[in-house]
Structure 1
């Protein structure tokens, strides 16, 4: 367990570099972005929950993505907004550990959810006659449970390993707390953490990438061979948006992690990449899926119209 001294220590996050004249514009901008993220993701969640036509494996798996996105955004934005107003970058050690844990749960969760969604699309497009047999409610529940169990188990072990260390430094080298920046505070041998962290990176980034590569290769092959233009167009449209979301998160995460391990890497570039992982996917995911998936777009439109009409009445 961490020592009482470690628990009481205040850590200092990297400065935001906002001048006094720009404090309130930055506060308003950050607040608006966070509210948009929460609103759009909640809209997707509520639409899927309330629309019986969306109670299908694809959308039930998608239901998990806004949850993960809001988790990541909430881990990042409230403290950022508070820091802008108070002009203080201090954070307690327990709060820093909590933020880092939630940030990593978000990133890992998104990759696992997107992998499960890719598998669902693979079965739907490549084995349509067996889809209802394979993607049963029981299978769906197992998939969702396994995704979150693996995610929470891996991240719990990762951050329990931090409990062994005494803190010798107090400066977090990033705009938010994360595993690599926390390790740089330790004054003891961190070899075990590095080995476990490397194994985690290989699993969390490698397994979803392999699943995506295999499923999309099979989907592309099926789309090329099919003689139904409408089915081909719908499949490519759905899978295209899914692939954009996955690659955006995967590439950004890979470059951020690499930048932490290369001494010559620009700190500002690393911080920018790290922050973008927590800003762009939660902001863009509901917009991409809401606009590109016809069924979801129609259901969102109907839900909004229904509520607007009830307000007018």
Structure 2
């Protein structure tokens, strides 16, 4: 009980950016604008799906999870980082550090599972259009959404539950935010089990996501090649292109982040920035990509905008 109390009140030190005093507020306000932009875009997409009855379809019920997940990712990261830049505090209580790490890992897994669910929905809509309504019923749609969030939660919770068994002997994290590797660096105990579980969880998430998406897009491609209807091909390209762009951006940023930690000549600050990109780039781009490439979302936004202007 005493150890638990000590852990709850334990303060950790984050490794801050090396920022010249004159650039502190410029960086802060730039980051704040990025955060406001990301929040505004994702909230707009959420509200459009809620308020517009034309978007009350299985595709958009599943899509609803994407901006919701993006809000979790960007909000778990940027407010704390921006606050530390201004206040130069760079302190965080251990339980809040674990919570931040948990939410950031939930976000990463959520992106992979949500995009897989959306790819499956597009496969049914394009490859089996006559059976779409009988397959993608409200119950099935709700089950897919529950599976996405439930599987993500179980995998990440199993990873972070292992931290309870580790004693802490260091109090400085070599990062500007908390994640599983940073938390593991605080212990002097053997972390082999944690590393194995972390690698296993990452592999499972990637295999499930990539397999479902590969299956779905191959089936969609076969459908496009076998049909002579240009309208069907155009619809397939428009509906799938946005999801492929989002997935590729997420994977490229993630790969770049991992590689940046493998080269000794890359500065520590650059490694921190690349680590943050995965939680900033996708939340800012996802609603724009869907707003521009999905005609129903674009028309819904324009209709709302016109009503606000002319009423």
Structure-2-length-normalised TM-score:
0.94
How many pairs were matched up?
A: 309
Partner of 1:62: 63
Match of 1:74 in 2: 75
SS at match of 1:278: coil
Q: Whole-Å Cα distance in 1 between the matches of residues 246 and 227 of structure 2? A: 25
1:190 aligns to what?
Answer: 191
Residue 259 and residue 188 in structure 1: after superposition, are their counterparts in 2 closer, same or farther (change >3 A)? farther
Spell out the pairing of 1:203-222 with structure 2 (5 A cutoff): 203-222=204-223
Q: Distance in 2 between matches of 1:55 and 1:96?
A: 37
Deviation at 1:201, TM superposition (A): 0.5
Q: Unmatched 5+ residue regions in structure 1? A: none
Matching of residues 11-90 of structure 1 within 5 Å: 11-90=12-91
Q: TM-score, normalised by structure 1?
A: 0.93
1-structure distance, mates of 2:264, 2:203: 23
Equivalents in 1 of 2:170, 2:256: separation in Å? 25
Aligned-residue CA RMSD (Å):
1.8
| Pair 1:204–1:134, CA change in 2 (3 A) | same
Superposition deviation, residue 195 in structure 1:
1.4
The 8 Å contact of residues 72 and 103 in structure 1, kept in 2 or not, is answered as yes
- How far off its partner does 1:223 sit? 1.3
Report the CA distance between 1:233 and its aligned residue: 1.3
Per-residue Cα deviation, 1:120-160 (whole angstroms, up to 9, x for no partner): 00111111111111100010011111111111111112111
Give SS of 2:173's match.
coil
Cα shift at 1:303: 1.4
In structure 1, what is the Cα distance between the partners aligned to 2:271 and 2:283? 19
The secondary structure found in structure 1 opposite 2:92 is strand
Equivalent residue for 1:287?
A: 288
Q: Supply the distance in 2 between the matched residues of 1:248 and 1:162 (Cα, whole angstroms).
A: 31
Question: Following the alignment from structure 2 to structure 1, what is the Cα–Cα distance between the partners of residues 74 and 47?
Answer: 18
Pair 1:17–1:305, CA change in 2 (3 A): farther
> Which residue of structure 1 aligns with residue 100 of structure 2?
99
What runs of 5+ residues in structure 2 fail to find an aligned partner?
Answer: none
- What SS does structure 2 have at the residue aligned with 1:12? strand
